[in-house]
Chain A
């Protein structure tokens, strides 16, 4: 019984990683850049929901909608101002460092506006969840909703990428920017669209992250962002179902290693497992093996 409880706890944590990883992998897979500021977009989304909900006396639906719109704008603006000028730079690392700059910038703006003290976030989900076996086993509402939302996003993204023209354009741009341009695809616009979707997903992930772990500070997004990145790599970079699976696996492994091995060394164990998985499958769980051509 207690194993089941721990497994469910792992699932709750993993579902949060999964939903963040979806947004991460979206941008990562298409634009081929590690957007280190993604975690901070999540934080911005949380603060917007927090402020709007407070102003609307607790109405979080409006807050989430406003957050999605503003985060989308933020994502597109950031892409335009900070990332686009560096497209085609001599090294792909240049844009990575700029993303770090953007991450610092957002954190410090939040610090100046909201102060450093944590704020308690009111959950946007009021549903208590399900309980089984006379309340011995409880699955929280936020966990179920997070998993449902992740699955919906997963399916929607798959359909979008595989069935629509814009989605096909994204795939083309991610494979070969030059060839895509020759085929008449506006690569800049396609990547801007990717950022718009990725940032909107960040706002949704933020709402769920802070509902599950209701503590909000300018650094809220940083660590979950990194963990989600690890999850995305674990699942196979660029693979959208892989991000989902990677997130869930990471959450469950983290909780079980804390439970059965050591809570002091849990970070080391989680990262150790990541290393082992990558050694066995060097491109992640669902990653494609790309044959190198000579």
Chain B
């Protein structure tokens, strides 16, 4: 056995050395390969693992935007090269993905998809002074550096807007909350919502948590909201868990108004989901896959053709992100031969001047802090489609 271990260690050690050498080869190839006449944009998100649906949406949504831009002649006349990398919803792997994209020659980053990963990567983009636009990193800290901007609303923003909306429209007197306390996004919105609810015309009567390790049975959370007499249940969570909550509420015969945030978008397109369960569900979302404007119709059609799924809000944010980058790059008049840092400084300056329109809003502007300025749209589901709640 001892001898055998020795053989294994030797083999492994040499494999390690080989791997290192292979890695060095990559490095050498990269320095020779730069200087081509195209922009290199990278994207990062969880492509495998439990959150793979979100990462794939981002990477695919951005791909469609890149294809459209390239077909129409590129940015400032230069084509875009594009690559998406997997981070498995792991901040450490997200940094690895970033480094790997950097070796590939990335000049601008669309990512990361999730908040914790985005914050970790922003530390590196800051050090490299690379322009980063996160489509869906919604935690407050995601944009704490001046080189990072975002497309989506921030978590606190959504919590405040939801509380405001419920109060302004007298939607409820008693509110129950179900949130995911193992998730940055969900607990972020939840905290702000509860803070904001103080002194409003409703009362938070129950706030129950669940975790990603424990997201199949919601009977207790629903029963508690029901027993407390909640006539509205606020769900600051993603649609995949919400689909189960709606089903279980229906089975137990509990029918309050359900109120979601942007993560709820996608619930109507869950394959085989009985959309009548979502009847009356309200959500604040920037995107609706069944909107009838040309841009959305065109995007949804292309996405379905290419990936066989209906795009959700993540895909839309990523699609917009690429077009926002295009607008800012055109405004700043950058060219691919500029250094990453020069591109960043130029685009950063242009971001606060541009006014973009896209899938998630007809009019978006940015503050230097990186926060977008756009209006959340409240929609209500009626007859299986989104209808404006106004």
Contact = CB atoms under 8 A, between A and B. Distances in A.
A120 interface: yes
16 contacts: A2-B227, A9-B219, A13-B219, A90-B1, A111-B52, A115-B309, A117-B309, A120-B271, A138-B252, A214-B244, A215-B216, A217-B53, A223-B216, A224-B216, A263-B208, A263-B224
Contacts of A138: 252-253
Interface in A70-84: none
Contacts of B271: 117-120
Contacts of A214: 244, 247
Interface in B41-67: 47-50, 52-53, 55-56
Classify chain A's interface size.
35 or more
A79 to B, nearest CB: 25
Nearest to A215: B244
A116 B56 contact: yes
A58 to B, nearest CB: 10
B50 A217 contact: yes
A266 B273 CA distance: 29
B209 A9 contact: no
Contacts of A122: 272
Interface in A1-15: 2, 5-6, 9, 12-13
Contact of A264 (B49, B209, B252): B209
B240 interface: yes
A223 B213 contact: yes
A264 to B, nearest CB: 4
Contacts of A218: 52
A215 B239 CA distance: 11
Contacts of A120: 243, 247, 270-274
B385 to A, nearest CB: 17
Contacts of A50: 272
Which one of B214, B217, B221 has the greatest number of beta carbons of chain A within 10 Å?
B217
Nearest to B211: A267
A28 interface: no
Contact of B217 (A9, A54, A119, A140): A9
Nearest to B217: A13
A235 to B, nearest CB: 20
Contacts of A88: none
Interface of A: 2, 5-6, 9, 12-13, 50, 54, 90, 108, 111, 115-122, 135, 138, 140, 213-215, 217-219, 223-224, 254-255, 258-259, 263-264, 266-267
A140 B251 contact: yes
Contacts of B273: 120
B223 interface: yes
A119 B270 contact: yes
B71 interface: no
B308 interface: yes
Most A CB within 10 A of own CB, among B48, B56, B274, B307: B48
A115 B55 CA distance: 12
Given A90-B1, A122-B272, A264-B209, A213 B56 contact: no
A117 B272 contact: no
A254 B213 CA distance: 12
Given A9-B219, A12-B219, A118-B240, A263 B274 contact: no
